[in-house]
Amino acid sequence: MCDLSTDLLVARVRQKTRPRGANGQRVLVIGKNSPLLEGVADLLQLAGYRVEMSSTWSETAYALQLAPPKLAIVDLSNSAADAFRLSEQIRNSPRGQDVPILFISFSGDDRIRDLQRRNRKNGDRRLQFYAHTVLSMDGLLDKVGACLA
């Protein structure tokens, strides 16, 4: 029964994501390793994105040096201040200046609102936000697609 559910989920993701045009675009997912963040990475891979995971600044800096990803997704499971500093480090790196950054949170707290307030002050339109208490497959893929459009 579990395999059937997994097969149906995979088929649904592939069916829904074909028009989005992932075309193997590289996405860098940054955050502490967790089952939820691994689920995000798996979902993106099923949708056709090439996903690279990073849990430290040194790993992130190395990934940016290789080639800038089309999108960086930053998990807010730690503090919003740390995530904002990370986004500034990405912006200040030579190859990360133009990379859109999507902050994600599934905790239902105010961290996203804090970052949105900071974003309004600095006016960086390449910073996007996705916050839900549960992982919405369609919602997340739509937001990723919008960031890459």
* Beta strand segments in the chain, E: 26-30, 50-54, 71-75, 101-105, 127-131
The pLDDT, as a whole number, for residue 71 is: 93
Give residue 70's pLDDT.
Answer: 93
Highest mean pLDDT among 3-12, 43-52, 54-63: 43-52
User: Within 10 Å of residue 114's Cβ, how many Cβ atoms?
Assistant: 16
pLDDT at 97: 86
Mean pLDDT across 72-87 = 78
Residue 17 in this model has a pLDDT that exceeds 60: no
pLDDT of residue 111: 63
Backbone angles phi, psi at 35, to 5 degrees: -60, -35
Phi first, then psi: give them for residue 145, nearest 5 degrees: -60, -40
| pLDDT: which is higher, 3 or 138 | 138
Q: How does DSSP classify residue 78?
A: S
Residue 42 sits at the vertex; the CA angle it makes with 140 and 101, to the nearest 5 degrees, is 45
More confident residue, 11 or 53: 53
> For residue 109, what pLDDT is reported?
58
* 83 DSSP assignment: H
